[in-house]
Amino acid sequence: MNPINEVHVSEPGLVVVDIAAADDATALAFQQMLADRWVTSSAQHTTRDAGQPGVRLCCYLDLRQPISPFVPAEGPPPASAAAPR
């Protein structure tokens, strides 16, 4: 893991997230999940450490921003499709 730059944690609410994943798609998908909820600086690529499995990605979150509501990819079924009572 790279050293944390002081500016990235200079105030409460600023977070550095170091992601380790099996592949690029997984790391970038996780970063996108974070970005959907908080302001984040997006990394455009992952890195590989020689001799280490998987990939790494580092992103920076600002938790001081309002949290976006989580909207699942598939919402609940419409009321008309619900099981009879």
| Cα 70-25-38 angle, rounded to 5 deg | 30
pLDDT tens sequence across 31-79: 988 888 877 766 777 888 888 889 999 888 888 877 666 555 565 555 5
Count CB atoms within 10 A of the CB of residue 21: 17
Asked if residue 78 belongs to a domain, the reply is: no
What separation in angstroms does the CA of 63 have from each of 9, 35, 37, 46, 48? 11, 11, 9, 23, 28
Is 34 a member of any domain?
A: yes
Q: How many domains is the chain built from? A: 1
The angle at the Cα of 18, spanning 14 to 24, to the nearest 5 degrees, equals: 130
pTM over 0.75: no
CA–CA dist 43, 40 (Å, integer):
9
Assigned domain for 18 exists: yes
Domain around 19 = 8-65
